[in-house]
């Protein structure tokens, strides 16, 4: 295998794909391997940003923007807030038991092998860049899909959010006679 030849023939798209993928994997590994929870959260934000870069390369600008606004913006800030609120420190960290570590690595390894086997077995159809519909992934296409084919699920999601909202307010409400914080 001529690696140098491969490198020479790589286009700018290839380069950006590999660089962004490396960043994504680096961020994901950092998330699970760093001991400080705040570092974990920051690594996770890096992962989300590089995932958004992937979306842009797939011509899905809207998803990229939403991914940054919702995940990197709202949810990650919430994570950081909780981490700081709970004031997690490194010292009270305990390594899980050996038996759990062994079981977890066996299970994870098996899932990993199965997924790799499935990917190797699958033949992905190549996209013809000349006949490709460039509007795929834009807001317009997404909107018309959401309000035509997926109208019912789209509307029923509101029921889900309403339950979550009503439930959170109900559970978090201070009752008469409970102490103030």
Residues in the site for other proteins, rule: CB under 8 A?
Answer: 114-115, 117-118, 121-122, 148-153, 156-157, 159-160, 162-164, 166-167, 170-171, 175-176
Sign of CA dihedral 11, 16, 19, 20: negative
Shortest Cβ 3–other proteins spacing (Å): 29
Q: Are 72 and 45 in contact (CB under 8 A)?
A: yes
Cα(27)–Cα(18) distance, rounded to whole angstroms?
14
CB atoms under 10 Å from CB of 67, counted, come to 20
Question: Which residues touch 95 (CB under 8 Å, ≥6 apart)?
Answer: 101
Shortest Cβ 120–other proteins spacing (Å): 9
Cα(102)–Cα(171) distance, rounded to whole angstroms?
38
For 34, the 3-state DSSP assignment is coil
Shortest Cβ 119–other proteins spacing (Å): 9
Nearer to other proteins, 15 or 150 (CB): 150
For 106, the 3-state DSSP assignment is helix
H helix runs in the chain, sequence order: 3-9, 12-33, 37-57, 61-66, 76-86, 98-121, 139-147, 151-172
Shortest Cβ 10–other proteins spacing (Å): 27
Nearer to other proteins, 1 or 160 (CB): 160
Shortest Cβ 163–other proteins spacing (Å): 5
Nearer to other proteins, 69 or 164 (CB): 164
Nearer to other proteins, 2 or 178 (CB): 178
Nearer to other proteins, 39 or 149 (CB): 149
């Amino acid at each position: 295998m001529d690696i140098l030849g491969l490198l020479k023939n790589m286009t700018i798209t290839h380069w950006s794909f590999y660089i962004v993928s490396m960043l994504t994997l680096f961020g994901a590994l950092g998330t699970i391997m760093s001991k400080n929870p705040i570092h974990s959260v920051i690594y996770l934000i890096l992962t989300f940003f590089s995932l958004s870069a992937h979306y842009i390369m797939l011509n899905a600008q809207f998803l990229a923007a939403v991914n940054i606004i919702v995940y990197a913006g709202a949810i990650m800030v919430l994570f950081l807030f909780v981490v700081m609120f709970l004031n997690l420190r490194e010292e009270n960290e305990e390594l899980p038991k050996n038996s759990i570590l062994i079981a977890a690595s066996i299970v994870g390894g098996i899932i990993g092998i199965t997924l790799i086997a499935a990917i190797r077995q699958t033949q992905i159809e190549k996209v013809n860049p000349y006949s490709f519909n460039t509007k795929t992934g834009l807001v317009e296409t997404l909107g018309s899909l959401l309000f035509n084919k997926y109208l019912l699920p789209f509307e029923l999601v509101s029921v889900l959010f309403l339950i979550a909202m009503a439930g959170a307010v109900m559970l978090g409400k201070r009752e008469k006679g409970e102490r103030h914080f």
